[in-house]
């Protein structure tokens, strides 16, 4: 795997190159500007680009735009800090085609920071390799259902109480296309888990809120979800939903161990919703690596009437999470991304 490192800081070029070169069978090449990166891409073939967000001259967002225009299938991973400005621009890059982002090292020690950086680049390289080498969608090994699904529904439940969404890799791009299409008259709260570390989900919520007529915000402990409002699980915390003494939905955040190596986890949210004595639920599983969400959908279907929509392979950045649902026959519909928003509105007769 050939990795192009683009960063105008000599220190970070060195750190990123060293971390990338530590991967088996990987060769890292470093350049100091977006202009040099574009010239290098014209002359040589690369399998992955690690692209700094802020650079002199052409910044990371501008370089990303040019790379995606000329090399649409070349995976680009943004290298970003966790400050408010960095996070906001990073979310914009993910919505414009970057497949993932890596946070710059901020560990308690140099060694800790480098180990984290190597692990993050290893994950990015695995994703790039997956996208490069699989003509067909990846096939995660399906797990045994947590609880057997008794039957397939013929139509969505008439009175769902919650709309639940799970998404991972490619999520910001997918959500930027779905949320503007959702009706403001959706009569139930919308709870959403996007796999993302702390410091970035707030910016994701703010960017989605700007492009949607729905109210979208990062969830906080004790929030009472409102109809037509989207609450996004904060990075680094599991989000659960419970009923309070008055019977209203209430958000609870926990620092319990990761599930499927994820915190927040889709399964945790869906499992908690299944214990809320719902009249029904709508579950949506979008693009993402792994199988998080499949156990949760099974739990929901065992607990209450649940209609599950899974994104199709053709429009998924990575067809992992939706495929895990489909392989266990937990889906009720498989739809392309552009049809999911209108279908949700139709389910709620809007």
* Per annotation, catalytic residue among 7, 161, 195, 312: 195
246 by DSSP, 3-state: which?
coil
138 by DSSP, 3-state: which?
coil
**What's the token pair of residue 261?**
């190596």
Longest dimension (CA), the chain: 65
Rounded to 5 degrees, φ, ψ at 287 are: -45, 145
Check: CB of residue 205 under 8 Å from CB of residue 179. no
* Per annotation, catalytic residue among 267, 292, 312, 332: 292
Q: Can you tell me the distance from the alpha carbon of 286 to that of 272, in angstroms, rounded to the nearest whole number?
A: 19
CA count, 13 A, side-chain hemisphere, 3: 29
- Which residue intervals of the chain are DSSP H helices? 10-21, 34-43, 60-70, 84-94, 110-133, 171-178, 201-211, 266-273, 294-303, 321-327, 337-347
Sorted by sequence, the CB contacts under 8 Å of residue 43 that are 6+ apart come out as: none
Active site residue 195: yes
* Per annotation, catalytic residue among 168, 203, 265, 272: 168
**No. of H helices and E strands in the chain?**
11, 14
Nearest to 166 by CA among 340, 13, 346, 9: 340
Sorted by sequence, the CB contacts under 8 Å of residue 214 that are 6+ apart come out as: 179, 182, 184, 186, 190, 228, 229, 230
CB count in 10 Å sphere of residue 334: 16
What order of strands is seen across the sheet that includes strand 281-285? Answer: 215-218, 229-232, 190-194, 162-167, 281-285, 306-311, 333-335
Q: Which residues are catalytic?
A: 168, 195, 292
């Amino acid at each position: 795997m050939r990795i192009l490192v683009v960063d105008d800081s000599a220190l970070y070029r060195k750190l990123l190159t060293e971390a990338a070169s530590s991967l088996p069978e990987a060769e890292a090449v470093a350049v100091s500007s977006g202009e040099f990166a574009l010239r290098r891409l014209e002359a040589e073939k690369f399998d992955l680009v690690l692209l700094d967000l802020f650079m002199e001259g052409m910044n990371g967002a501008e370089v990303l735009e040019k790379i995606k225009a000329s090399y649409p299938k070349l995976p680009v991973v943004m290298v970003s800090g966790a400050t408010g400005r960095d996070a906001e621009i990073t979310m914009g890059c993910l919505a414009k085609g970057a497949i993932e982002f890596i946070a710059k090292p901020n560990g308690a020690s140099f060694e800790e920071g480098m180990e984290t950086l190597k692990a993050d680049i290893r994950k990015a390289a695995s994703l790039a390799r997956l996208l490069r080498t699989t003509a067909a969608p990846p096939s995660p090994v399906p797990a045994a259902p947590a609880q057997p699904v008794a039957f397939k529904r013929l139509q969505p439940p008439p009175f769902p109480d919650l709309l639940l969404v799970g998404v991972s890799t490619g999520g910001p791009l997918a959500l930027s296309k779905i949320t503007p299409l959702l009706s403001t008259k959706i009569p139930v709260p919308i709870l959403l888990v996007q796999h993302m570390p702390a410091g970035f989900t707030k910016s994701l919520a703010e960017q989605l809120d700007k492009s949607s007529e729905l109210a979208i915000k990062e969830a906080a402990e004790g929030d009472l979800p409102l109809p037509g409002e989207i609450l996004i699980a904060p990075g680094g915390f599991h989000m659960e939903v419970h009923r309070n003494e008055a019977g209203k939905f209430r958000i609870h955040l926990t620092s319990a161990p990761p599930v499927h190596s994820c915190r927040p986890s889709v399964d945790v949210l869906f499992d908690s919703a299944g214990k809320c004595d719902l009249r029904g639920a709508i579950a949506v599983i979008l693009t993402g690596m792994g199988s998080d969400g499949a156990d949760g959908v099974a739990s929901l279907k065992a607990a209450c009437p649940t209609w599950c929509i899974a994104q199709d392979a053709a429009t998924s950045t990575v067809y992992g999470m939706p495929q895990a649902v489909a392989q266990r026959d937990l889906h009720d519909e498989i739809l392309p991304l552009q049809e999911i928003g209108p279908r949700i509105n139709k389910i709620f007769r809007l």
